[in-house]
């Protein structure tokens, strides 16, 4: 197919590159001329393993191009995929200004029948609203499709080329069939449904995954108090096919551009139809609190006296293999430490520049490597589970820290590797170690 993808953010860029890889002719459009220049020069504005190489191969093969000229791109395409951002407003609702603007620009550019597929995450009813906006601007025929995206940052290409399922929300069976055809080689699980249900599937999926994470984080918090090990609990739960093993990793809570935004938006969507989504409210609340799990442990270790201490932070991205720091737990954790008079030394293998820009404040000592960050610190907190941290030489780490205190917010380190060391080690939902020895929770009296 001849495809135009509007918006070269994570979803747009990865989709564009992958559709080209699948043999389609793809034009990616963005309003930002600097981004387009970078893409045309072979650069990639985000860190995503494998994306640069795949984009380059398809550009050289003449299947992929980048432009700011939306009008020309739309006129040359049969399918327009809209993947512009829907960032949260202060109320938590999705901001639809960019997508409405894109819809109007598409309408103004139309020169014949097109399929307009929306990949951006949008509240239920938005595709219909965009359709009527467009009909007010153009007499040209088109069909609207809701085509929600489920890719994860860090494994975006794999997720796009080998998705668990494809969801196609359509009113017109002909347009739906064209979309089925486009995705046929990717998966046997193609769900064709109505537009509103497709829009809902995206929110419901993200809300459910966020619920799993908050659930296991609360189980972890209880495990700490009763002397159980959440990783063992999650493994035991996960073999039950009805539960499944994924998204049961306890830690410092979810961040990123999707879960925080989409959970808030779904609470708002429910509110608009007079439904209070109590469960999801709690999921968000638990997630917010879980970020402070690391701080609470530091307070326990230092008897509430954080002022004047030096704390090293490993990991600023909201998860590994991305430079994305949007809603990363590290933002609030570091802010809290600074507010309490702590000297913070911080490092991330790829997300430093983005973090410094988003954080936007002075006071953090930015370091160039993992061991350098730990140098002279009273405690070290691991916030993102990059391989680089997991592979560190614990003996060497122990010698550079002022005190061998390690708070592992992602359960990266194994107890067996810490035995025999001097570490005071706290993780999430697992027994703590003192000088490498497991601390027993006192006999439980009920
Ligand atoms: C998510 C969805 O997975 C994806 O389908 C959707 O399209 C966009 O949002 P993403 O935000 O890229 O993708 O990352 P994901 O791997 O889902 O992780 C989200 C957050 O949850 C991260 O902060 C991660 O650290 C956290 N997480 C994930 C946990 O704390 N525990 C887990 O078991 C899994």
**DSSP β-bridge partners for residue 438:** 433
Strands 114-118 and 142-146: parallel
The mean per-residue pLDDT over the stretch 422-427 comes to 95
* pTM score of the predicted model: 0.95
In this predicted model, what pLDDT tens digit does every residue of 213-256 receive, in sequence order?
999 999 999 999 999 999 999 999 999 999 999 999 999 999 99
Is 251 assigned to a binding site? yes
Cα within 13 Å of Cα(367), Cβ side:
21
In angstroms, the Cα distances linking 73 to 26, 28, 67 are 9, 8, 8
Domain with CATH 3.40.50.720 in the chain: 2-193, 291-438
Q: 190: Cβ–Cβ under 8 A, 6 or more apart, which residues?
A: 165, 166, 168, 180, 183, 184
* ipTM of the complex in this document: 0.98
pLDDT given at position 199: 97
Residue 119 assigned as binding residue: no
Give the tens place of pLDDT for each residue, 103-150: 999 999 999 999 999 999 999 999 999 999 999 999 999 999 999 999
Residue pair 293/216 in contact by the 8 Å Cβ criterion: no
Q: Is 234 in the pocket of ligand 1 (CB under 6 A)?
A: no
The answer to whether 158 touches 188, Cβ cutoff 8 Å, is no
Range list for CATH 1.10.1040.10 in the chain: 202-289
- C-alpha 306/C-alpha 303 separation (Å) is 8
Weakest mean pLDDT among 27-41, 86-100, 135-149, 241-255: 86-100
Indicate the average pLDDT of the chain. 96
Domain 2-193 = CATH 3.40.50.720: yes
Q: Please state the separation of Cα 360 from the chain's center in Å.
A: 21
pLDDT at 446 over 80: no
CATH architecture of 291-438: 3-Layer(aba) Sandwich (3.40)
Contacts of 109 (CB under 8 A, 6+ apart): 70, 71, 72, 74, 75
Judge if the beta carbon of residue 318 lies within 6 A of ligand 1: yes
Q: Is the CB of 326 under 6 A from ligand 1?
A: no
430 lines ligand 1 (CB under 6 A): no
Cα(367) to centroid(ligand 1), Å: 27
For ligand 1, mutation pick of 201, 250, 254 (most atoms within 8 Å of CB): 254
- 247 annotated binding-site participant: yes
- CATH for 202-289 is 1.10.1040.10
Annotated active-site residue 258? The verdict is yes
């Amino acid at each position: 197919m001849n495809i135009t993808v509007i918006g070269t953010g994570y979803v747009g860029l990865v989709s564009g590159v992958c559709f080209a890889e699948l043999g389609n002719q793809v034009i990616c459009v963005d309003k930002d001329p600097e981004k387009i220049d970078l893409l045309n020069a072979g650069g990639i504005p985000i860190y995503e393993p494998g994306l640069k190489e795949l984009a380059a191969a398809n550009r050289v093969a003449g299947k992929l191009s980048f432009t700011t000229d939306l009008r020309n791109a739309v006129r040359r395409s049969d399918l327009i995929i809209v993947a512009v951002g829907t960032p949260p407003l202060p109320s938590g609702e999705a901001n639809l200004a960019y997508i409405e603007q894109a819809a109007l620009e598409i309408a103004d550019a139309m020169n014949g029948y097109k399929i307009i597929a929306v990949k951006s995450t949008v509240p239920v009813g938005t595709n219909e609203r965009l359709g009527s906006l467009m009909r007010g601007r153009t007499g040209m025929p088109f069909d609207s499709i809701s085509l929600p995206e489920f890719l994860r940052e860090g494994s975006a290409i794999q997720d796009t080329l080998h998705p668990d399922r494809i969801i196609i929300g359509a009113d017109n069976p002909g347009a739906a069939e064209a979309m089925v055809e486009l995705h046929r080689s990717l998966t046997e699980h193609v769900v064709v449904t109505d537009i509103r249900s497709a829009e809902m599937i995206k929110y419901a999926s993200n809300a459910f995954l966020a619920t799993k994470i908050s659930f296991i984080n609360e189980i972890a918090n209880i495990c700490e108090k009763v002397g159980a090990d959440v990783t063992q609990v999650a493994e035991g739960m996960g073999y039950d096919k009805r539960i499944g093993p994924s998204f049961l990793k306890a830690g410092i809570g979810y961040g990123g551009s999707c879960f925080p935004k989409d959970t808030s938006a779904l609470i708002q969507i429910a509110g608009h139809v007079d439904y209070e989504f109590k469960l999801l409210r709690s999921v968000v609340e638990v997630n917010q609190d879980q970020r402070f799990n690391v701080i609470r442990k530091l307070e326990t270790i230092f008897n509430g006296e954080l002022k004047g201490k030096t704390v090293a932070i490993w990991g600023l991205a909201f998860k590994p293999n991305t430079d994305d720091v949007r809603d990363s737990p590290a933002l609030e954790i570091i802010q809290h430490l600074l507010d309490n008079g702590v000297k913070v030394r911080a490092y991330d293998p790829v997300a430093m520049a983005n973090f410094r820009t988003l954080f936007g404040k002075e006071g953090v000592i930015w370091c160039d490597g993992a061991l350098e960050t730990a140098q002279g610190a009273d405690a070290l907190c691991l916030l993102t589970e990059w391989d680089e941290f997991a592979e560190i030489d614990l003996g060497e780490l122990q010698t550079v820290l002022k005190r061998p205190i390690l708070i592992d917010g992602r359960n990266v380190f194994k107890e067996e590797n810490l035995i025999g060391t001097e570490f005071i080690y706290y993780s999430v939902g697992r027994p703590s170690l003192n000088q490498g020895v497991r601390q027993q929770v006192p006999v439980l009296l009920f």
